[in-house]
Amino acid sequence: MSTFLGLPRHRSSTPEEGPLGPVPHADDPLRWGDPFPVAARRALDDAQMRRNLGHATSTIRDKRASVVGEVPDWEALRDTGSAVKGDVMARLPELLAQLEENVTARGGTVHWARDADEANAIVTRIARERAVDEIVKVKSMATQEIGLNEALAEAGIAAVETDLAELIVQLSEDMPSHILVPAIHRNREEIRRLFLARMEGAPDDLGDAPRELAEAARVHLRRKFLSARMAVSGANFGVADSGTLTVVESEGNGRMCLTLPETLVTVMGIEKVVPTFTDLEVFGQLLPRSSTGERMNPYTSLWTGVTPGDGPQDFHLILLDNGRTRALADDVGRAALHCIRCSACLNVCPVYERVGGHAYGSVYPGPIGAVLTPLLTGAGTEDAPHGDANASLPYASTLCGACFDACPVKIDIPSLLVHLRARDVDSRRERTVPTGWDGAMKAASWVMSDGARLGRAEKGTAALRVLAGRKGYVGTLPPPMSAWTASRDLPAPPRQSFRDWWADEHDGNDGDGAAEENA
Amino acid sequence: MSDARTQILGRAREALGADELDVPVPREYRVTGDLAPGSDDVVDLLVDRLVDYRATVHHATTPTVAETVAALIADARTVVVPTGLDVAWRADWVPEVLEDSREEPLDVATLDAAGAVVTAARVACADTGTILLDGEPDQGRRAITLVPDVHVCVLRADQVVHLLPEAIRMLAPHPARPITWISGPSATSDIELSRVEGVHGPRTLHVVIVR
Ligand code: SF4
């Protein structure tokens, strides 16, 4: 079985010089840079990045908490969201066929892509057939994942990112570091410098107020929107029973792309299908409150095939696998496909907040990235190259459980992490030659691979609390955790380990086997 | 192509195995709110949300809609309306009125040069401060509420419901219509996560509520 990754090379970790200093360069959007422990250590030296990130994530955490707190039936909505996604996975083939039938009946064309190369080739062909050499793009994780912009560039087609944060990443030739706000690691002054250096038509006296920066982007992109002939988008949801696709956004750049060009191509991961139109009443509440911490995002667009006289008259939907059926085959890991990409788990994660998104070496960073990336790429199985850096990702967590609590579709990320650690250890047990990071991770992985040992190890963190004493932080830790404590004091672990918490919450039943898949 | 389709669906079936997985879906969340559609309380809640998103709210009665709107668009040179807009709302406007429809659409440059657009709406959700348009003749093509910089949306109080499920269920009989949910003027939170109103969509949203 091949790896379905577009460019299944080993990570290249050659950072390249950009207007804002060195930026990572990815050969493969799902596998780049150093393995997590190495990249994390380097990231910890970047004080500016950590300040930017700390400020941004604490802002969004507060906003999210307040808008979630005002919804009395939030838990009921989460239960439904979780179950709907479980139902989708169970009936995926049938729902995809239904979606295809409805999109086709309404004048759209449906394509299927097994991997990144196939999806990129379809988009390229559609552009070429229409003699288009520049397309406008709505921010989309799926097209990030397949490296569409790079593939189009090779074919001589320019892809213009129109989401503000995505534009910032594109202009700085950087990689995204957050799934909602890809430039979250940049502050206003850095963005001002970047616009002055790289953005056509930026006024010389550009200030660093967010309002001014947004205005500069508006002026820059408006001409492109009004003349674009083809757009490419992702989709937040694809409704099987009506063929309706949905894009949730803020700036109006999405509406521009979805409405004005003659041709629209939407690349959607096959897991994004939902059964019925009324399911949008659930996700329409869960997603905005969890992602931007708003009661509702400014704009949500719904369209079904082609509407004569309104919007693109040439519509293509590409249904993308690229490792999703592989993740589906893991009956525990499958739950990672429930993700609606809200980014709440990133914003609450103590590890993400300290090391930033780039350390994860994938377009999917943070807690969900630490499970989704290895599942999509098959890290820790025979499908992936030996010593695959992605196999270290499931260790990028303290298993504190904050991600699980924040997740609007109740993905039990801590249990998935433990499951993938075990899978990784099992696969390496069969291979005798240790690679570089194998050694670094060995102790941790041995402990994490077994439920009982994990329980003991987490109890051991109670000892750290004692070490930390009244100061409330721990100065140094043994490897591999020393990579963090070397540059930063680790906060004392919470009084309860995740497992103890679980046991308390579940009538003394130890969390072992807590990998209960939420629906 | 059918090759990829067969293979993806085959892999998915294989991944799921032979067992029929039956996942029951609980629906315990609220589908009707405490506030009655069109009531003063539900309208007050909507106004609170709209103001929070920096939309501007105006109140009118059926006979005063035209003059209320006229005051909002007085500075514009041209104003776009969908052909199905209530003609009674269009009395005594100063700017030149340009009609738009699917059959006779205005070009993008004309929309870009227009000072404002005036439309109706299908339904509004008070809880989230959301106005939902479904592209019918009184609301028009999606482009007309996107390109002009000022959007004046006229909403009857009886179109205001409390919760999102109530609004979605009004749209559900016609899911294939092009639908846009609007919650305030366009905005971005991409710079240090601080919300800035006014990016690519209309930078000014006026909502006229008619009781
Ligand atoms: S895993 Fe859950 S919290 Fe994280 S991005 Fe996905 S849906 Fe959001």
What pLDDT digit, counting tens, does each position of A431-484 carry?
544 444 444 444 444 433 444 443 444 433 433 333 333 333 333 443 444 443
CB contact under 8 A, A253 and B199: yes
Which of A92, A242, A294 lies nearest to residue B176, judging by beta carbons?
A242
State the Cα–Cα distance between residues A337 and A353, nearest whole angstrom: 23
Rounded CA-CA distance A347/A361 in Å is: 18
Interface test with B, best of A61, A88, A94, A112 (most B CBs within 10 A): A112
- Among candidates A127, A172, A183, which has minimal Cα distance to A153? A127
Of B164, B176, B186, the CB nearest to A244: B176
pLDDT in tens, chain B (211 residues): 459 999 999 999 999 987 767 899 999 999 999 999 999 999 999 999 999 999 999 999 999 999 999 999 999 999 999 999 999 999 989 999 999 999 999 999 999 999 999 999 999 999 999 999 999 999 999 999 999 999 999 999 999 999 999 999 999 999 999 999 999 888 887 787 777 887 888 999 999 999 9
* Tens digits of residue pLDDT in B73-109: 999 999 999 999 999 999 989 999 999 999 999 999 9
Domain residues of chain A, as ranges? 454-518
Query: Residue-wise over A171-189: b if at least 16 C-beta within 10 A, else e?
Result: bbebbbbbbbbbbbbbbbe
For A111, phi then psi, to 5°, come to -120, 155
Measured from the Cα of A372, ligand 1's closest atom is 1
Residue nearest to atom 2 of ligand 1 (CA): A407
The closest CB to that of B26, out of A52, A80, A304, belongs to A80
- Would residue B114 count as lying in a domain? yes
Nearest CA in chain B to A162: B200
Give which of A251, A330, A337 to mutate to test B binding, by max B Cβ within 10 Å.
A251
Strand ranges of the sheet holding A273-274, from the earlier edge strand across to the other edge: A273-274, A237-239, A244-249, A299-304, B179-182, B130-133, B123-125, B160-161
**B 101-120: CB under 8 A from A:** 101-103, 105, 108-109, 112
Residue located via tokens 């988008």: A233
How many angstroms is it from A251 CA to the middle of ligand 1? Answer: 22
In a domain, B2, yes or no: no
Give the residue from chain A lying closest to B27, CA to CA. A80
Nearest residue by C-alpha to atom 4 in ligand 1:
A345
Task: Confirm whether B144 is domain-assigned.
Answer: yes
Ligand 1 pocket, CB under 6 A: A 290, 339-345, 368, 406-409, 411
Ligand 1 mean position, distance from CA A327 (Å): 16
| Overall size of chain B counted in residues | 211
Domain hosting residue B129, numbered range: 34-210
Write down the pLDDT at residue A354: 84
Per the structure, the count of domains in chain B is: 1
* Rounded Cα gap, residues B206 and B184, in angstroms: 9
C-beta atoms of A298 and B182 within 8 A = yes
A368 CA distance to ligand 1 centroid (A)? 6
**Helix, strand, coil content of chain B in percent (nearest 5):** 30, 25, 45
CATH number reported for the structural domain that contains residue B183 in this entry? 3.40.50.10420
What is the nearest CA distance from A52 to chain B, expressed in angstroms? 7
Q: Per the domain annotation, does B25 fall within a domain?
A: no
- Per-residue pLDDT of A131-146, as tens digits, reads 999 999 998 899 989 9
The CA A61 to ligand 1 mean position distance, Å, reads 14
At residue A481, the pLDDT reads 42
Regions in chain A scoring below 70 on pLDDT: 1-27, 32, 386-387, 429-519
Residue A16 is predicted with a pLDDT of 57
**Dist CA A376 CA A326 (whole Å):** 7
So what's the pLDDT on residue A462? Answer: 37
Residues 6+ apart with CB under 8 A from A105: A243, A305
CA of residue A235 to ligand 1 center, whole Å: 16
Question: Any idea how long chain A is?
Answer: 519
Spell out which residues of chain A touch residue B146, defining contact as CB-CB under 8 Å.
Answer: 252, 255-256, 259-260
Longest Cα–Cα distance in chain A = 70
Would the CB atoms of A251 and B128 count as touching at under 8 Å? Answer: no
Please, is A62 exposed, middle or buried when counting C-beta atoms within 10 Å of its C-beta (0-12, 13-18, 19+)? Answer: exposed
Contact B179 A302 (CB under 8 A): yes
Which residues in A270-423 belong to E strands, given as ranges?
A: 273-274, 299-304, 314-320
Q: At what angle do helices A280-291 and B164-171 cross, to 10 degrees?
A: 130
Q: Provide ipTM, 2 decimals.
A: 0.96
Asked whether residue B166 is domain-assigned, the answer is yes
CA-closest residue to ligand 1 atom 3 = A407
| Residues ≥6 apart with Cβ < 8 Å to A315 | A103, A107, A108, A109, A263, A264, A265, A266, A303, A305, A306
Facing A87 at nearest CB: one of B12, B25, B171: B25
Report the separation in Å between the CA atom of A516 and the middle of ligand 1, taken as the mean of its atom positions: 17
- Is residue B89 in some structural domain? yes
Contact B29 A282 (CB under 8 A): yes
Pocket test residue of A82, A274, A291, A340 for ligand 1, highest count of atoms within 8 A of CB: A340
Quote the pLDDT of residue A483.
Answer: 41
> Computed over its alpha carbons, how large is the radius of gyration of chain A?
22
Ligand 1: centre distance to CA A267 (Å):
20
C-alpha distance from B158 to closest chain A C-alpha (Å):
20
Distance from CA of B35 to the nearest CA of A (A): 15
